[in-house]
Amino acid sequence: MTAQLMTGTDLAKDSLDRSARRTRDLLRETGVRPCLATVLVGEDLGSVTYVAMKRNRCATAGIDSRHVPLPVATTTAELVATVRALSDDPSVHGILLQHPVPAHIDERAAFEAIDPAKDVDGVTMWSFAAMAFGHLGFASCTPGGIMRLLDAYGVDPAGRRAVVVGRSPILGKPMGMLLLARDATVTYCHSKTVDLPAIVATVDIVVAAVGRPRFIKGRDIKPGAVVIDAGYNPGNVGDVDFEGAMERASLLTPVPGGVGPMTIAVLLEQTVDAAVRHAASVAASR
- Give the residue numbers marked as catalytic: 54, 98, 121
Q: Residue 223: which of 248, 252, 196 has the closest Cα?
A: 248
CB atoms within 10 A of CB 236: 10
- CA 25: distance to chain centroid? 25
Calpha distance 139→200 (Å, rounded): 26
Query: What are the C-alpha distances in Å from 153 to residues 4, 250, 252?
Result: 10, 11, 11
Question: For helices 172-181 and 125-132, what crossing angle results, to 10°?
Answer: 20
Residue 79 φ/ψ, nearest 5 degrees? -65, -45
Whether omega for the bond prior to residue 71 falls within 30 degrees of 0, making it cis, is no
